[in-house]
Amino acid sequence: MKEGVVRVAILASGSGTNAERLIQAVQTSAEAEVVVLGTNRSQAGAVERAERRGVACWTFSKGELEQGEVTRRLLDMQVDFVALAGFLLKVPQGLVDEFPGRMLNLHPSLLPAFGGKGMYGHHVHRAVHEALQKGAIEETGITLHWVDSGYDTGLTFFQASAPLSMKDTTHSIAEKIQVLENAHYAKQTLRAIRESLSLPGKTLD
């Protein structure tokens, strides 16, 4: 363990592009280190990406998450900050309680619009496209928010938007979201990690 360094855990379920960008950003910083990537899908692309970057990985089941095993393991590893990068399971209250103001999630819309249970990935892009075709919206974007016990209901930390046109398709909307994630996710999550240093119980020496 490095003295005065924020120990970061990443939870991911998918391809891991955002997780890898965050690992790269953290590895170039002096304030933090990614100590583990946890996933509920052993075949997730995030595992290969993390291992390629020298980050340890572990797979857990939905039951282990709900029963508190994930919480216990993160505490045993002395994790300070949890970043959700395409993690598709609902975070249980016990885990939320252990990381107040230190667990950040990325959502592919401008919350509170297009959030909630079942709203992730292509489901969000499809809903955004349907709203666009009805003339209900003119932009889309991403939200980084603190995790609470609900689905996408935590306080917003950061948002970035992109304009839409009637020519946009579900695919082009997804591409615009990817551009925003590439530009902002790792940078803003690292900012959140740095700001977490000011919370009680964690200071840099």
Catalytic residue numbers read 107
Could you tell me how far CA 205 lies from the centroid of its own chain?
A: 28
88: which residues sit within 8 A by CB, 6+ positions away?
A: 13, 14, 40, 120
Backbone CA torsion sign across 167, 17, 181, 91: positive
Residues 6+ apart with CB under 8 A from 161: 110, 139, 140, 141, 180
Could you give the strand order of the β-sheet that contains 81-84, starting from the edge strand earlier in sequence? Answer: 57-59, 32-39, 6-12, 81-84, 103-107, 139-146, 156-163
